[in-house]
Structure 1
Amino acid sequence: MSEGDQIRIDVITAADAGELLTVRRAAFVSEAQIFNDPNIPALTQTLEELVVDLQSEDVVTLGAWQGHRLVGSIRVGIEDDKATIGRLAVTPDLQGKGIGTQLLFAVLRFLPEGVKEVWAFTGQNSKHNIALYNDNGYEHQFDQVAGDLTYAYLRKVLESGAIVDDEGEDEVGRGEN
């Protein structure tokens, strides 16, 4: 990417809720098509519900901006020593350009000390998403049925003593800086 295309990742606040809702809906239409279900949670969440979620102390939602445009996001729920990733979304026009991977790596910088494992879930038939998680060190653990959907749950155990430098680049030796 050229300098004008640089991606900046930071926490999304309630002030960005409308734009986030738009990004998620655009990104999750393809998921709805895979499952032949227009009522998946990412498409039915209201703006009010999203604002409440963004204000929760147990949730961190990160956004990827290209200039002033929000182009991706990831939601991280935190409970004790476990973090759970969900709603990884990238605008359709920029999918496949590494933004999702950047968001996955960025999550590590925003986790509280003491988090030992990160879980991710995605639709069982979302082969592209499962491959993305597998490529980034997440291993399939189990599938779970929720209504008409079946979710695949993947887990990444964080290395003990992981070091994150001030620039926010992970130095655990995952091969990306």
Structure 2
Amino acid sequence: MNDASQATRIALVADADAGELLTLRRAAFVTEAQQYDDPHIPPLTQTLAELREDLAREDVVTIGAWEGHRLVGSVRVELEDNKATLGRLAVAPDMQGRGIGTSLLFAILPYLPEQVTEVWAFTGKDSTENLSMYAKHGFEEHHQDAAGALTYTYLRRVLHEVEARSEADAGDATPSSRP
């Protein structure tokens, strides 16, 4: 049962959730693989053991969005000095278009160390919906980089201390409360 009044809960993804996370990512990235005619993109080829290793890394934070007991979205954040890099932003295909991805974008802020001043994201250069979502939320295209036959667009959002802390202090990750 999934009614509109059910709140989305956002929290860290634990090792116990690894199987569900792997399933979510594979379902969410199939359309990306089809768009680029490449079934070998990393979210589709990562093994459960590799995912568990990634979840255990100290420089990686993975958060998920749950509706009831179902994991409906997730994002992986790799931390390096003053930079956080978002990756594998995934929303279950039947839940897309409901603001879950946007909620996850803002929900990462409380998990970032204070020294982080910029957040990076990347997506395929032809993924217009993804590029539009990032641009709508303050990310600016920075550069493109080819990885085999796929070209990624890298986007950056500079965090202003007041903005980052006020969004973090809000603590509410519901889509309706975010810009």
The TM-score range, normalised by the shorter chain, is over 0.9
- Which residue does the alignment assign to 2:93? 92
Partner Cα separation in structure 1 for residue 54 and residue 114 of structure 2: 22
- Which residue does the alignment assign to 1:3? 5
Aligned residue runs from structure 1 range 24-173, under 5 A: 24-161=25-162, 162-164=164-166, 166-169=169-172
CA deviation profile, 1:42-65 (whole Å, cap 9, x unmatched): 100000000000000000000000
SS in 2 for 1:3: coil
The alpha carbon displacement at 1:168 in A equals 1.1
SS in 1 for 2:113: coil
The alpha carbon displacement at 1:166 in A equals 4.7
**RMSD over aligned Cα atoms:** 1.6
The alpha carbon displacement at 1:13 in A equals 1.1
Instruction: Work out which structure has the larger RCO, using CA pairs closer than 8 Å and 6 or more positions apart in sequence.
Output: 2
Give the letter for the 1:95 counterpart. Answer: Q
The alpha carbon displacement at 1:125 in A equals 0.9
Partner Cα separation in structure 1 for residue 75 and residue 18 of structure 2: 13
1:176 to 168, 175, 178: 178
Give the letter for the 1:168 counterpart. Answer: G
Give the letter for the 2:67 counterpart. Answer: Q
Partner Cα separation in structure 1 for residue 178 and residue 40 of structure 2: 36
> In percent, how many aligned pairs have the same letter?
59
The alpha carbon displacement at 1:3 in A equals 2.5
The alpha carbon displacement at 1:106 in A equals 0.4
Please give the TM-score of this superposition, normalised by the length of structure 1.
0.92
CA deviation profile, 1:8-33 (whole Å, cap 9, x unmatched): 10000111000000000000000001
Q: Give the gaps of 5 or more residues in structure 1.
A: none
Please give the TM-score of this superposition, normalised by the length of structure 2.
0.91
Q: Give the gaps of 5 or more residues in structure 2.
A: none
Give the letter for the 1:3 counterpart. Answer: S
CA deviation profile, 1:157-177 (whole Å, cap 9, x unmatched): 00133324555149xxxx827
SS in 2 for 1:133: helix
Give the letter for the 2:165 counterpart. Answer: I
Partner Cα separation in structure 1 for residue 31 and residue 20 of structure 2: 19
